[in-house]
Structure 1
């Protein structure tokens, strides 16, 4: 006997899941293309600016030191002429004779009777510029002064200008990278969104048209490749669908004749077996034809406004009188009653075949949940979704052809709804896998309802 039991409204939660790599399961850091390009341009710009700054700094310093050497040598030569022409001979203009602080490098030049200049670096402060010439009597006349303060100021200003220029180049490179990367990222996101719609079955979408734009780059090549792949897969799927539909259609007539002939057999156990197998074959042919029509994406829903809770309660009473219906709160929705009844029938039949008694149907807003208390859905179905002619684990062998959930999922797509599958957590500390299978039908959000958007259910016995 079907009964309606009010239950407390469950709490709605949006589970938070860490970003993990789908292949390895490890936590992965997600970064955008625009930031990668920006960082790459900034790094290259910083490296180039640093290298150029070093080159310019060193070149300017060497040029100014060379100029200081030439000036120092000219001053020393003038002082030498004054020293040799004026008596008594005395060093003038800051020059010294046989200066003991003369660097060793200049001593070596003086021994060879050669004049020269030398820059003496200091750990702190400006370097000293030396100039020395040998005199006729064997003495050495030398002059040394520190690097000009004005030149030091010029070098500091140059270094500041180089730093400002380098920082500007880095920030300009970052801005350019964000601009270029942003455009590329937008094109890739559009391509990914279009590919996602194709994966959902909308084969009319073209990735190349979705990304648009005037500039032609590698994303256009990727889009053309995806479009070509979509066309090829669509042609293969359509060919397989046509073959399946043609075979099922050709089998319909002989199977109908076989079923009619079986009805004419005399009563008895053999006749019952023949009629039962003929009826099973007819059901299989009809299911295959329905799957072929759903795969062709030509089915259209005939929408009507219905009261979901009352509709589900009436249909479940006919389809499975032993099932328990719980209506948390009712809603008016626009849907196709015939297709909704087909989905409910297949879910209830699946629960009756593969679960244990105690099937529960819960209606909350525009969400319908069907739960049994059997071993649950196989891992392959939870991972990949329903697949035709796959009946699950070995304990379900020989029970059905694996088309029930496939048809239910296809009809849900026609309604614009989502049909999800999961296993409930075990109750009372029982071993994992005895919590039962849960199929949840989410009717489309755009349908009129008295409760607003559909809630996100978190069952009390669901995994946390």
Structure 2
């Protein structure tokens, strides 16, 4: 059972973590500062009240008359303070009203049960604490906002580097082996992202060396097989006519075709192929080539267009697409030309899921019911030739009535002799022929 996952960027994760930690620290510090300030002010108020009580006590003992705001046997004396006075010493007590204003009591017992006391409200203390709380709230909010902004900056920097690394790794996976992740992420400060980039670049180099070695081995084997296979075909032509002779010639020809296809794939993998460009009318060209290769296919030219491309490679692509349709699909086979786009469609079961997901792969023909029908090189060669032309070859399945659809998108500007694409000013282009 697939678990639900909340996807979010590392930038916001780091920002949330820093904001949460900042808020927690700010709250804890605010509580500590608030309590410390409140206790300190109450202690000062107690000390001040005791000093007043001592002064009032001296006046009372000299005149037997309570003065300086003191009272004798005040009926409102708090019970907690009376309990403290039971020990026969001066004591203080603090109580707060509904608005949080502290009222400090101080009292001293006398023999005979008399109690001299005084109490004073300290509204300034409440105002100071309230002002302090507001300042703490403002400071805490500033700390949280600042921490969040810092988290966004730090997380954004890490996120950008990781995204650049992912983009570079994707380019490498698409065949751009010259791309290096470490160069793509850049930056002055080195961190774990650079370690990841080093590892990916090392993996890319190792895989590239392995692929290159396999390509060389494949090309060498195919090249070495070319001569004996040619001799085998020549020898088969000298055999007397018979059914076994036909079988030998057929299999020898199939082996020769396979060797030529493997050599072509090796040349395409080496990225040394260059297009020989000519300007052609695409609809007319496709109609003539399809008629000679697969007369049963239906060609529809929706819109004619002149293109600058390599006719031999374009014919190879169309032939391989139609050949794949004839092997694995069902008629009718349809070829549609619309501007620079060529579509080849059959009405079979469609392309297998792995081909749609990963693209063509050599020596893999898709589903098991196609075993023994081809070597998976036709679409691989078509994709490689499309890259040489600077074109894009896509594969999909028809949703309505089934069937496989291959779409070739020819570029507006064909590659140069070096394989690059020039920057062309459209205003400088000559008018196309109609």
When normalised by structure 2's length, the TM-score is 0.91
Structure 1 residue 24 displacement after superposition:
5.1
State the alpha-carbon separation in 2 of the partners of residues 229 and 249 from structure 1: 30
Q: Residue 106 of structure 1 is aligned with which of 77, 81, 95? A: 81
Deviations 1:142-198 (A, max 9, x none): 11122x222222222211211111121122122222222222222122212211111
State the alpha-carbon separation in 2 of the partners of residues 229 and 24 from structure 1: 31
- The 3 A distance-change label for structure 1 pair 44 and 79 is same
Structure 1 residue 59 corresponds to structure 2 residue 26: no
Structure 1 residue 76 displacement after superposition:
0.8
Structure 1 residue 449 displacement after superposition:
13
Judge which range, 194-203 or 35-44, deviates more.
Answer: 35-44
RMSD: 2.1
State the alpha-carbon separation in 1 of the partners of residues 37 and 282 from structure 2: 84
Verify the 8 A CA contact 1:333 1:449 in the aligned structure 2. Answer: no
Verify the 8 A CA contact 2:102 2:125 in the aligned structure 1. Answer: no
Q: Residue 116 of structure 2 is aligned with which of 116, 123, 141? A: 141
Deviations 1:270-295 (A, max 9, x none): 21111111110000111111112222
- The 3 A distance-change label for structure 1 pair 380 and 115 is same
Greater relative contact order structure (CA < 8 Å, 6+ sep) = 1
Q: Secondary structure at the match of 1:133?
A: strand
Q: Secondary structure at the match of 1:129?
A: strand
1:152 is matched with 126
Verify the 8 A CA contact 1:33 1:185 in the aligned structure 2. Answer: yes
Q: Residue 372 of structure 1 is aligned with which of 346, 352, 356? A: 346
- The 3 A distance-change label for structure 1 pair 370 and 280 is same
Structure 1 residue 441 corresponds to structure 2 residue 408: yes
Which one has a larger percent helix, Structure 1 or Structure 2?
Answer: 2
Verify the 8 A CA contact 2:102 2:126 in the aligned structure 1. Answer: no
Aligned pairs for 1:34-73 within 5 A: 34-73=11-50
Deviations 1:425-450 (A, max 9, x none): 243xxxxxxx1111112223555899
Judge which range, 407-416 or 71-80, deviates more.
Answer: 407-416
Judge which range, 52-61 or 135-144, deviates more.
Answer: 135-144
- The 3 A distance-change label for structure 1 pair 188 and 424 is same
Aligned pairs for 1:58-207 within 5 A: 58-86=35-63, 89-146=64-121, 148-207=122-181
Verify the 8 A CA contact 2:281 2:307 in the aligned structure 1. Answer: yes
Verify the 8 A CA contact 1:303 1:335 in the aligned structure 2. Answer: yes
Aligned residues: 417
Structure 1 residue 356 corresponds to structure 2 residue 323: no
Unaligned ranges ≥5, structure 2: 415-423, 427-434
Verify the 8 A CA contact 2:101 2:125 in the aligned structure 1. Answer: no
- The 3 A distance-change label for structure 1 pair 282 and 59 is same
Q: Residue 390 of structure 1 is aligned with which of 356, 361, 364? A: 364
1:461 is matched with none
Structure 1 residue 254 corresponds to structure 2 residue 254: no
Structure 1 residue 233 corresponds to structure 2 residue 200: no
Structure 1 residue 335 displacement after superposition:
2.6
Q: Residue 265 of structure 2 is aligned with which of 285, 291, 304? A: 291
1:402 is matched with 376
Question: Segments of 4+ in structure 1 off by > 4 A?
Answer: 23-26, 445-450
Deviations 1:303-347 (A, max 9, x none): 333332222222212211221111222333333222221111100
2:183 is matched with 209
When normalised by structure 1's length, the TM-score is 0.85
- The 3 A distance-change label for structure 1 pair 166 and 303 is farther
1:9 is matched with none
Aligned pairs for 1:297-308 within 5 A: 297-308=271-282
State the alpha-carbon separation in 1 of the partners of residues 275 and 172 from structure 2: 21
